[in-house]
Structure 1
Amino acid sequence: MVRTGFAALALAALPLLGGCGEAEDKQSAPVTQDDATLTLAAALGANKTLGTLQSAIEQSELSGVLDGRASYTVLAPKDRAFAALGEDGAALLEDEQRPVLIAILRDHMLPGHLTLEAIGAAIDQRGGPVTMTTLGQTEVQFARSGETLTVTMDGGASARVSGTAIAANNGVLIPIDTVLLPPRG
Protein backbone atom coordinates (compact mmCIF):
# COMPACT_ATOMS: atom_id res chain seq x y z
CA MET A 1 0.00 0.00 0.00
CA VAL A 2 1.42 3.35 -0.95
CA ARG A 3 1.12 5.86 1.85
CA THR A 4 0.99 9.54 1.05
CA GLY A 5 1.87 12.75 2.79
CA PHE A 6 4.95 14.45 4.08
CA ALA A 7 6.12 14.32 7.67
CA ALA A 8 7.67 17.22 9.48
CA LEU A 9 11.41 16.82 9.44
CA ALA A 10 13.39 18.79 11.98
CA LEU A 11 16.71 18.15 10.29
CA ALA A 12 15.59 19.85 7.09
CA ALA A 13 16.31 23.14 8.83
CA LEU A 14 19.92 22.22 9.57
CA PRO A 15 22.42 24.19 7.53
CA LEU A 16 24.16 22.49 4.65
CA LEU A 17 27.60 21.59 5.90
CA GLY A 18 29.97 21.38 2.97
CA GLY A 19 32.11 18.30 2.65
CA CYS A 20 34.49 17.19 0.03
CA GLY A 21 36.80 14.30 -0.65
CA GLU A 22 36.32 10.64 -1.14
CA ALA A 23 35.45 8.08 1.52
CA GLU A 24 36.00 4.36 1.16
CA ASP A 25 33.15 2.05 2.16
CA LYS A 26 34.68 1.06 5.50
CA GLN A 27 37.85 3.08 6.00
CA SER A 28 36.79 6.58 7.01
CA ALA A 29 33.85 8.62 8.19
CA PRO A 30 31.11 9.07 5.58
CA VAL A 31 31.24 12.41 3.77
CA THR A 32 29.15 14.26 1.22
CA GLN A 33 30.58 15.39 -2.10
CA ASP A 34 28.93 18.57 -3.38
CA ASP A 35 27.93 18.53 -7.05
CA ALA A 36 25.23 21.18 -7.42
CA THR A 37 25.51 21.02 -11.22
CA LEU A 38 23.48 17.79 -11.24
CA THR A 39 19.90 16.91 -10.35
CA LEU A 40 19.33 13.81 -8.24
CA ALA A 41 18.29 11.92 -11.40
CA ALA A 42 21.52 12.93 -13.20
CA ALA A 43 23.67 12.10 -10.16
CA LEU A 44 21.99 8.71 -9.93
CA GLY A 45 22.62 8.05 -13.61
CA ALA A 46 26.28 9.04 -13.25
CA ASN A 47 26.91 6.62 -10.38
CA LYS A 48 28.08 3.20 -11.61
CA THR A 49 27.13 1.41 -8.38
CA LEU A 50 23.47 2.53 -8.38
CA GLY A 51 22.25 1.16 -11.73
CA THR A 52 19.64 -1.15 -10.21
CA LEU A 53 18.20 1.69 -8.14
CA GLN A 54 18.04 3.82 -11.27
CA SER A 55 16.15 1.00 -13.05
CA ALA A 56 13.79 0.66 -10.09
CA ILE A 57 13.06 4.40 -10.07
CA GLU A 58 12.40 4.34 -13.82
CA GLN A 59 10.17 1.26 -13.46
CA SER A 60 8.21 2.92 -10.67
CA GLU A 61 7.80 6.06 -12.80
CA LEU A 62 9.33 8.24 -10.05
CA SER A 63 12.13 9.61 -12.27
CA GLY A 64 10.40 12.97 -12.66
CA VAL A 65 10.45 13.46 -8.90
CA LEU A 66 14.25 13.30 -8.87
CA ASP A 67 14.47 15.82 -11.72
CA GLY A 68 12.04 18.25 -10.10
CA ARG A 69 12.54 21.34 -7.96
CA ALA A 70 11.62 19.77 -4.62
CA SER A 71 14.51 18.59 -2.47
CA TYR A 72 14.85 14.98 -1.30
CA THR A 73 17.41 12.81 0.40
CA VAL A 74 17.54 9.33 -1.13
CA LEU A 75 18.85 6.37 0.83
CA ALA A 76 20.35 4.71 -2.23
CA PRO A 77 20.92 0.93 -2.06
CA LYS A 78 23.91 -0.10 -4.15
CA ASP A 79 23.61 -2.73 -6.88
CA ARG A 80 25.00 -5.45 -4.62
CA ALA A 81 22.22 -4.67 -2.08
CA PHE A 82 19.60 -5.44 -4.72
CA ALA A 83 21.56 -8.52 -5.85
CA ALA A 84 21.44 -9.83 -2.27
CA LEU A 85 17.62 -9.97 -2.57
CA GLY A 86 17.95 -12.63 -5.28
CA GLU A 87 14.75 -13.50 -7.11
CA ASP A 88 12.68 -11.28 -4.81
CA GLY A 89 14.71 -8.27 -5.95
CA ALA A 90 14.30 -9.13 -9.63
CA ALA A 91 10.55 -9.62 -9.13
CA LEU A 92 10.23 -6.05 -7.81
CA LEU A 93 11.05 -4.75 -11.30
CA GLU A 94 8.06 -6.53 -12.87
CA ASP A 95 5.08 -4.39 -13.91
CA GLU A 96 2.62 -6.06 -11.56
CA GLN A 97 4.89 -5.26 -8.59
CA ARG A 98 4.97 -1.50 -9.30
CA PRO A 99 2.82 -0.55 -6.24
CA VAL A 100 5.11 -2.57 -3.95
CA LEU A 101 8.21 -1.08 -5.58
CA ILE A 102 6.86 2.47 -5.17
CA ALA A 103 6.16 1.84 -1.47
CA ILE A 104 9.69 0.50 -0.94
CA LEU A 105 11.26 3.43 -2.79
CA ARG A 106 9.20 5.98 -0.81
CA ASP A 107 10.61 4.38 2.34
CA HIS A 108 14.09 5.21 0.99
CA MET A 109 13.29 8.92 0.48
CA LEU A 110 13.34 11.71 3.05
CA PRO A 111 12.06 15.22 2.46
CA GLY A 112 14.81 17.85 2.38
CA HIS A 113 18.48 18.22 1.56
CA LEU A 114 20.26 16.25 4.31
CA THR A 115 24.00 15.76 4.05
CA LEU A 116 25.85 13.12 6.04
CA GLU A 117 27.60 15.91 7.91
CA ALA A 118 24.25 17.45 8.92
CA ILE A 119 22.94 14.06 10.06
CA GLY A 120 26.17 13.48 12.04
CA ALA A 121 25.90 16.94 13.62
CA ALA A 122 22.29 16.17 14.66
CA ILE A 123 23.42 12.89 16.23
CA ASP A 124 26.16 14.76 18.11
CA GLN A 125 23.79 17.51 19.22
CA ARG A 126 21.22 15.00 20.43
CA GLY A 127 23.84 12.77 22.01
CA GLY A 128 22.53 9.69 20.23
CA PRO A 129 20.39 8.37 17.39
CA VAL A 130 18.14 10.67 15.35
CA THR A 131 14.74 9.56 14.02
CA MET A 132 13.27 10.84 10.75
CA THR A 133 10.15 10.04 8.75
CA THR A 134 10.33 8.90 5.12
CA LEU A 135 7.95 9.89 2.35
CA GLY A 136 6.32 6.48 2.91
CA GLN A 137 5.55 7.55 6.52
CA THR A 138 8.02 5.02 7.95
CA GLU A 139 10.38 6.06 10.71
CA VAL A 140 14.10 5.51 10.18
CA GLN A 141 16.77 6.03 12.78
CA PHE A 142 20.30 7.22 12.04
CA ALA A 143 22.99 6.20 14.51
CA ARG A 144 26.76 6.25 14.58
CA SER A 145 29.22 3.79 16.04
CA GLY A 146 32.78 4.99 15.61
CA GLU A 147 33.14 5.96 11.95
CA THR A 148 30.13 3.88 10.82
CA LEU A 149 26.80 5.58 10.18
CA THR A 150 23.77 3.27 10.08
CA VAL A 151 20.12 3.71 9.23
CA THR A 152 17.51 1.39 10.74
CA MET A 153 13.92 1.15 9.54
CA ASP A 154 11.05 0.94 11.95
CA GLY A 155 10.67 -2.84 12.24
CA GLY A 156 14.34 -3.71 12.24
CA ALA A 157 15.83 -3.60 8.71
CA SER A 158 19.22 -1.91 8.91
CA ALA A 159 21.87 -0.64 6.47
CA ARG A 160 25.27 1.01 6.66
CA VAL A 161 26.20 4.12 4.75
CA SER A 162 28.54 2.74 2.14
CA GLY A 163 30.64 5.36 0.41
CA THR A 164 30.51 9.01 -0.46
CA ALA A 165 27.15 10.74 -0.62
CA ILE A 166 26.45 13.17 -3.46
CA ALA A 167 24.74 16.51 -2.83
CA ALA A 168 22.93 17.47 -6.03
CA ASN A 169 21.07 20.72 -6.66
CA ASN A 170 17.77 19.19 -5.51
CA GLY A 171 18.83 16.76 -2.81
CA VAL A 172 21.33 14.19 -1.64
CA LEU A 173 22.05 10.57 -2.63
CA ILE A 174 23.29 8.56 0.35
CA PRO A 175 24.64 5.13 -0.72
CA ILE A 176 23.69 2.26 1.60
CA ASP A 177 24.64 -1.42 1.61
CA THR A 178 21.16 -2.95 2.10
CA VAL A 179 17.65 -2.48 0.67
CA LEU A 180 15.46 -1.47 3.60
CA LEU A 181 12.41 -3.71 3.47
CA PRO A 182 9.43 -3.68 5.80
CA PRO A 183 9.03 -6.68 8.07
CA ARG A 184 7.24 -9.61 6.45
CA GLY A 185 3.92 -10.16 8.03
Structure 2
Amino acid sequence: MRKTDLALTLLAAAGLSLAACSDRNSPEGQASATADAAAAVSETLPQALDNAAGLQTVAEALKETGIEGVFQEKGSYTLIAPEDDAFAKLGDPGKQLTEADDHAALAALLKDHMLTGYMTPQDISAAIKSSKDGKVLISTLGGGTLTFTQAGGIVNVSAEDGTQASFDGDPVTGGSSIAIPVTGVLKKL
Protein backbone atom coordinates (compact mmCIF):
# COMPACT_ATOMS: atom_id res chain seq x y z
CA MET A 1 0.00 0.00 0.00
CA ARG A 2 1.45 3.36 -0.93
CA LYS A 3 2.08 5.89 1.84
CA THR A 4 -0.35 8.32 0.18
CA ASP A 5 -3.12 5.72 0.33
CA LEU A 6 -2.29 5.04 3.97
CA ALA A 7 -2.40 8.73 4.83
CA LEU A 8 -5.78 9.15 3.13
CA THR A 9 -7.15 6.05 4.84
CA LEU A 10 -5.97 7.20 8.27
CA LEU A 11 -7.34 10.68 7.66
CA ALA A 12 -10.73 9.27 6.65
CA ALA A 13 -10.79 6.95 9.67
CA ALA A 14 -9.98 9.83 12.00
CA GLY A 15 -12.78 11.92 10.46
CA LEU A 16 -15.27 9.10 10.87
CA SER A 17 -14.33 8.55 14.48
CA LEU A 18 -14.75 12.26 15.21
CA ALA A 19 -18.12 12.31 13.49
CA ALA A 20 -19.22 9.41 15.68
CA CYS A 21 -18.75 11.54 18.79
CA SER A 22 -22.15 13.16 18.44
CA ASP A 23 -22.63 13.56 22.21
CA ARG A 24 -19.93 16.23 22.13
CA ASN A 25 -22.51 18.60 20.65
CA SER A 26 -24.35 18.65 23.97
CA PRO A 27 -23.17 21.18 26.58
CA GLU A 28 -21.91 18.35 28.80
CA GLY A 29 -20.08 16.72 25.89
CA GLN A 30 -18.47 20.01 24.89
CA ALA A 31 -17.28 20.64 28.45
CA SER A 32 -15.87 17.13 28.66
CA ALA A 33 -14.13 17.46 25.29
CA THR A 34 -12.61 20.79 26.35
CA ALA A 35 -11.38 19.36 29.66
CA ASP A 36 -9.92 16.29 27.89
CA ALA A 37 -8.14 18.48 25.34
CA ALA A 38 -6.74 20.76 28.05
CA ALA A 39 -5.43 17.79 30.04
CA ALA A 40 -3.80 16.24 26.97
CA VAL A 41 -2.09 19.52 26.01
CA SER A 42 -0.90 20.27 29.55
CA GLU A 43 1.39 17.24 29.76
CA THR A 44 3.73 15.74 27.19
CA LEU A 45 3.63 12.09 26.21
CA PRO A 46 6.71 11.22 28.33
CA GLN A 47 5.03 12.88 31.33
CA ALA A 48 1.85 10.89 30.69
CA LEU A 49 3.89 7.68 30.41
CA ASP A 50 5.40 8.40 33.85
CA ASN A 51 1.91 7.84 35.28
CA ALA A 52 1.01 4.85 33.07
CA ALA A 53 1.16 1.43 34.68
CA GLY A 54 3.44 -1.04 32.91
CA LEU A 55 5.23 1.55 30.74
CA GLN A 56 7.89 2.81 33.13
CA THR A 57 10.83 1.32 31.23
CA VAL A 58 9.94 3.11 28.00
CA ALA A 59 9.20 6.32 29.94
CA GLU A 60 12.66 6.22 31.53
CA ALA A 61 14.28 5.32 28.19
CA LEU A 62 12.78 8.43 26.58
CA LYS A 63 14.34 10.56 29.34
CA GLU A 64 17.73 8.83 29.39
CA THR A 65 18.19 9.19 25.64
CA GLY A 66 16.92 12.76 25.44
CA ILE A 67 14.20 11.72 22.98
CA GLU A 68 11.60 13.11 25.38
CA GLY A 69 12.45 16.56 23.98
CA VAL A 70 10.95 15.60 20.62
CA PHE A 71 7.54 15.37 22.28
CA GLN A 72 7.77 18.97 23.51
CA GLU A 73 7.92 20.29 19.96
CA LYS A 74 5.03 20.95 17.58
CA GLY A 75 5.03 17.61 15.74
CA SER A 76 2.87 14.65 16.64
CA TYR A 77 4.11 11.10 16.93
CA THR A 78 2.86 7.60 17.57
CA LEU A 79 5.06 5.56 19.88
CA ILE A 80 4.67 1.81 19.65
CA ALA A 81 5.53 1.37 23.33
CA PRO A 82 6.90 -1.95 24.60
CA GLU A 83 5.49 -2.77 28.01
CA ASP A 84 7.77 -3.32 31.01
CA ASP A 85 7.23 -7.09 30.70
CA ALA A 86 8.50 -6.96 27.10
CA PHE A 87 11.80 -5.43 28.25
CA ALA A 88 12.01 -7.93 31.13
CA LYS A 89 11.62 -10.85 28.67
CA LEU A 90 14.80 -9.69 26.94
CA GLY A 91 16.81 -10.81 29.98
CA ASP A 92 20.44 -9.71 30.24
CA PRO A 93 20.59 -8.06 26.78
CA GLY A 94 17.61 -5.91 27.78
CA LYS A 95 19.22 -4.95 31.09
CA GLN A 96 22.47 -4.06 29.34
CA LEU A 97 20.55 -1.92 26.87
CA THR A 98 18.55 0.03 29.46
CA GLU A 99 21.35 0.33 32.04
CA ALA A 100 24.23 1.26 29.71
CA ASP A 101 26.00 4.61 30.09
CA ASP A 102 26.04 5.02 26.31
CA HIS A 103 22.42 5.43 25.23
CA ALA A 104 22.98 5.30 21.45
CA ALA A 105 21.63 1.75 21.07
CA LEU A 106 18.62 2.53 23.27
CA ALA A 107 17.90 5.69 21.27
CA ALA A 108 18.07 3.69 18.03
CA LEU A 109 15.65 1.13 19.45
CA LEU A 110 13.19 3.85 20.48
CA LYS A 111 13.34 5.49 17.04
CA ASP A 112 12.47 2.10 15.53
CA HIS A 113 9.26 2.24 17.61
CA MET A 114 8.28 5.82 16.64
CA LEU A 115 5.99 6.81 13.77
CA THR A 116 5.34 10.27 12.41
CA GLY A 117 1.80 11.50 13.09
CA TYR A 118 -0.93 10.75 15.59
CA MET A 119 -2.50 7.33 14.89
CA THR A 120 -4.87 5.61 17.26
CA PRO A 121 -5.23 1.83 17.35
CA GLN A 122 -8.63 2.35 15.67
CA ASP A 123 -7.00 4.35 12.86
CA ILE A 124 -4.46 1.61 12.21
CA SER A 125 -7.14 -1.09 12.39
CA ALA A 126 -9.30 0.80 9.88
CA ALA A 127 -6.33 1.18 7.53
CA ILE A 128 -5.64 -2.56 7.74
CA LYS A 129 -9.27 -3.40 7.01
CA SER A 130 -9.34 -1.10 3.99
CA SER A 131 -6.04 -2.35 2.55
CA LYS A 132 -6.13 -4.82 -0.31
CA ASP A 133 -3.73 -7.29 1.29
CA GLY A 134 -4.74 -6.98 4.95
CA LYS A 135 -1.58 -5.22 6.04
CA VAL A 136 -0.22 -1.72 6.41
CA LEU A 137 3.46 -0.75 6.23
CA ILE A 138 4.57 2.38 8.08
CA SER A 139 8.07 3.86 8.19
CA THR A 140 9.69 4.52 11.56
CA LEU A 141 11.82 7.47 12.60
CA GLY A 142 14.72 5.00 12.73
CA GLY A 143 14.43 4.36 9.00
CA GLY A 144 12.86 0.92 9.26
CA THR A 145 9.38 -0.28 8.39
CA LEU A 146 6.77 -1.78 10.68
CA THR A 147 4.07 -4.04 9.24
CA PHE A 148 0.65 -4.01 10.87
CA THR A 149 -1.86 -6.84 10.46
CA GLN A 150 -4.97 -7.92 12.30
CA ALA A 151 -6.22 -11.34 13.40
CA GLY A 152 -9.23 -12.00 15.60
CA GLY A 153 -9.64 -8.32 16.39
CA ILE A 154 -6.06 -7.98 17.66
CA VAL A 155 -3.63 -5.72 15.83
CA ASN A 156 -0.19 -7.27 15.42
CA VAL A 157 2.99 -5.47 14.43
CA SER A 158 6.23 -6.89 13.08
CA ALA A 159 9.63 -5.40 12.34
CA GLU A 160 11.86 -6.16 9.38
CA ASP A 161 14.00 -8.50 11.52
CA GLY A 162 10.97 -10.72 12.24
CA THR A 163 10.28 -9.61 15.80
CA GLN A 164 6.58 -9.28 16.59
CA ALA A 165 4.23 -7.81 19.16
CA SER A 166 0.51 -7.21 19.64
CA PHE A 167 -1.38 -4.10 20.73
CA ASP A 168 -2.21 -4.51 24.42
CA GLY A 169 -4.27 -2.16 26.53
CA ASP A 170 -5.38 1.40 26.20
CA PRO A 171 -3.23 3.99 24.47
CA VAL A 172 -1.66 6.82 26.46
CA THR A 173 -1.93 10.36 25.13
CA GLY A 174 0.02 13.47 25.96
CA GLY A 175 0.45 16.72 24.09
CA SER A 176 -0.07 15.98 20.41
CA SER A 177 1.27 12.42 20.57
CA ILE A 178 0.10 8.94 21.51
CA ALA A 179 1.70 5.74 22.81
CA ILE A 180 0.20 2.35 21.98
CA PRO A 181 1.31 -0.37 24.44
CA VAL A 182 2.62 -3.56 22.81
CA THR A 183 3.61 -6.96 24.14
CA GLY A 184 7.12 -7.08 22.70
CA VAL A 185 10.22 -5.16 21.73
CA LEU A 186 10.47 -4.87 17.95
CA LYS A 187 14.17 -5.53 17.58
CA LYS A 188 16.37 -8.56 18.05
CA LEU A 189 19.08 -7.98 20.63
1:95-121 alpha-carbon deviations (Å, 9 max, x no partner): 444111111110000000011111111
> Quick check: 1:155 aligned with 2:133?
no
| Structure 2 match to 1:54 | 59
Using the TM superposition, give the Cα deviation of residue 59 of structure 1 relative to its aligned residue in structure 2, in angstroms. Answer: 1.3
Structure 2 counterpart of 1:36, one-letter code: A
Structure 2 spans left out of the alignment, 5+ residues: 22-35
Q: 1:9 to 1:149 in 2, by over 3 A?
A: same
Q: 1:94 to 1:167 in 2, by over 3 A?
A: closer
Q: Distance in 1 between matches of 2:84 and 2:148?
A: 22
> Quick check: 1:76 aligned with 2:81?
yes
1:49-90 alpha-carbon deviations (Å, 9 max, x no partner): 100111111111111112222100000011111111111111
Check whether the contact 1:111–1:135 (CA below 8 A) recurs between aligned residues. yes
| Structure 2 match to 1:122 | 127
> Quick check: 1:145 aligned with 2:164?
no
Q: 1:166 to 1:12 in 2, by over 3 A?
A: farther
Structure 1 spans left out of the alignment, 5+ residues: 1-7, 21-32
Check whether the contact 2:97–2:106 (CA below 8 A) recurs between aligned residues. yes
Check whether the contact 1:142–1:149 (CA below 8 A) recurs between aligned residues. yes
Check whether the contact 2:52–2:172 (CA below 8 A) recurs between aligned residues. no
Using the TM superposition, give the Cα deviation of residue 9 of structure 1 relative to its aligned residue in structure 2, in angstroms. Answer: 6.9
Structure 2 counterpart of 1:39, one-letter code: T
> Quick check: 1:175 aligned with 2:186?
no
What is the TM-score normalised by the length of structure 1? Answer: 0.79
Residue from 92, 95, 99 that aligns with 2:97: 92
Greater relative contact order (CA < 8 Å, ≥ 6 in sequence): 1
Residue 158 of structure 2 aligns to a residue whose secondary structure is: strand
Check whether the contact 2:6–2:136 (CA below 8 A) recurs between aligned residues. no
Using the TM superposition, give the Cα deviation of residue 12 of structure 1 relative to its aligned residue in structure 2, in angstroms. Answer: 4.5
What is the TM-score normalised by the length of structure 2? Answer: 0.78
Identity %: 34
**Is the helix fraction higher in 1 or 2?**
2
Residue 93 of structure 1 aligns to a residue whose secondary structure is: helix
Q: Looking at CA atoms only, which structure, 1 or 2, has the larger radius of gyration?
A: 2
Structure 1 counterpart of 2:172, one-letter code: I
- Over aligned residue pairs, what C-alpha RMSD do you find? 2.4
Q: Distance in 2 between matches of 1:125 and 1:162?
A: 22
> Quick check: 1:66 aligned with 2:84?
no
